[in-house]
Amino acid sequence: MGWAALSELVPLYPLYALLFLDTGLSGGQISALFAVWSVTSFVTEVPAGALADRWSRRGVVVLAGVLQAAGFAVWTAAPQAWAFAVGFVLWGVAGALVSGATEALVYDGLAAVGASDSYARINGWMTSAELVVQVPTAFAASALFALGGYPLVGWASAAVCLAAAALALRFPEARRTADDAERGSLRQGVVEALRSPALRVLVLAVALIGGLDAVEEYFPVLAGDWGVPTTAVPFAVLVIALAGAAGAALGGIAGRMPGGALLGLLVAAAGCLAVAAVWARPAALGAVAVFYALYLAVLVVAEARLQDGIASAHRATITSVAGLGIEVAALLVFAAWALAGPVAVAVLVLAVVPVVRVGLRTRELDVRPEEPERRPAERG
């Protein structure tokens, strides 16, 4: 949890869009940079998981911190469009590296000491820490900018990323055999994720639920559209984030609930979002906060069920396949919002319930590679 909080305590996070604007970039140029970031993450997501399985999950997490620090250093040393593009490529690769490797590293570390049942609780607290840390990050960004402008914010952000990488060196990593490393290939991991019908549905469920988190990007838009003063929008969004942190922290408790109750939470979340969309007043953000809390509790459980369902050397690769699915599913959220705003997103939440129903009932799956058929020795 300490690593999860430190890795998000990056002062540039609340300010990098302003850095681009103050450097003189146009809206189109900023959108192009975001596209570079997104495409890089998309292309490297699954190969990064395969690298973690074949080499070292801990090593990949450490490398991710170093690459992200390098990206911010490039931004700070040469605040120009080309440098921002290079930084986003480095950041995109770093995000892909840490995506599947972190879950695999934590789960296998718990499994090694017979505590895999604690994964939902630990994962929930990690997600909660990543949200709660937005509060000190905002204050740190403001203070550093006042003292030294964007250069101080940038170098401090690079230092934080390196500190997170150093902290990741302390992660325990389960001993891996030569056979594990040999089996940790990109092709084998993807085949496993797609071959087993039960695991395939579970990966799809996690992808669909995880993709719904893209709605977070629209929370400031809702606040502004519903009459919240511009100066109060950051605080309104922070309240929603803290509600989500509380929901994620309760993921361990939610993980002990029967499947029907979990589906009820997801349906209730959709209902809260729909009510908020119809109400459309500043107070309706309270219903959005409840939606986000319920949603993140279910997401934490889904991620834990996925880890429970993987019993092979390709844990990081399979998790990265789900991560790639999340990126694709997020496009559905963007399309739904463009079509009819939060009401359409609420309908989308309900639409994924049937897949989630099948996926969440899967706890223990044997997805180890099948043994090759043994043929009788030919006689000469």
The confidence score (pLDDT) of residue 183 equals 53
Q: Residue 341 region, left (φ>0) first, then alpha (ψ -120 to 50), else beta?
A: left
With pLDDT > 90 as the criterion, what percentage of the chain qualifies? Answer: 49
Segment 68-89, tens digit of pLDDT: 999 999 999 999 999 999 999 9
| 139: number of Cβ within 10 Å | 11
| Average pLDDT of the residues of the chain | 86
Is the pLDDT assigned to residue 177 strictly greater than 90?
no
Segment 310-322, tens digit of pLDDT: 876 788 888 998 9
Is the pLDDT assigned to residue 249 strictly greater than 60?
yes
How far apart, in whole angstroms, are the C-alpha atoms of residue 64 and residue 62? 5
Its sign, for the CA torsion 253, 346, 240, 160, is positive
Which pLDDT band holds residue 189 (cuts at 50, 70, 90)? low
Outline where 196-232 has alpha helix (H).
197-211, 219-225
The confidence score (pLDDT) of residue 369 equals 41
Is the pLDDT assigned to residue 297 strictly greater than 90?
yes
Segment 114-159, tens digit of pLDDT: 888 899 999 999 999 889 998 898 889 889 999 999 999 999 999 9
Length of the chain: 380
Dihedral angle, C-alpha 118, 121, 123, 127, nearest 10 °: -170
| 210: number of Cβ within 10 Å | 20
Is the pLDDT assigned to residue 113 strictly greater than 70?
yes
The confidence score (pLDDT) of residue 178 equals 55
The confidence score (pLDDT) of residue 367 equals 40
Is the pLDDT assigned to residue 235 strictly greater than 60?
yes
| 379: number of Cβ within 10 Å | 4
Class of residue 159 by CB neighbours under 10 A (exposed 0-12, middle 13-18, buried 19+) = middle
- Helix, strand, or coil here: 373? coil
Is the pLDDT assigned to residue 46 strictly greater than 60?
yes
Dihedral angle, C-alpha 1, 256, 118, 45, nearest 10 °: -60
Lowest mean pLDDT among 183-187, 258-262, 376-380: 376-380
As a whole number, mean pLDDT of residues 264-284 equals 96
Lowest mean pLDDT among 10-24, 43-57, 137-151, 180-194: 180-194
The pTM of the whole model exceeds 0.75: yes
Query: Which has more confidence, 158 or 1?
Result: 158
How far apart, in whole angstroms, are the C-alpha atoms of residue 14 and residue 137? 8
Which pLDDT band holds residue 179 (cuts at 50, 70, 90)? low
As a whole number, mean pLDDT of residues 5-34 equals 86
Lowest mean pLDDT among 4-8, 75-79, 80-84, 201-205: 4-8
Query: Which has more confidence, 189 or 337?
Result: 337
Nearest of 216, 291, 293, 210 to residue 248 by alpha carbon:
293
As a whole number, mean pLDDT of residues 283-302 equals 96
Domains of the chain plus CATH, in order, are 1-176 (1.20.1250.20), 186-361 (1.20.1250.20)
Segment 87-103, tens digit of pLDDT: 999 999 999 999 888 98
Lowest mean pLDDT among 192-201, 274-283, 294-303: 192-201
With pLDDT > 70 as the criterion, what percentage of the chain qualifies? Answer: 89
Nearest of 310, 272, 307 to residue 288 by alpha carbon:
272
DSSP3 helix / strand / coil % (the chain, rounded to 5) = 80, 0, 20
* pLDDT winner (highest mean) among 126-130, 159-163, 168-172: 159-163
Which pLDDT band holds residue 185 (cuts at 50, 70, 90)? low
Tokens linked to 372: 């090759």
Which pLDDT band holds residue 373 (cuts at 50, 70, 90)? very low
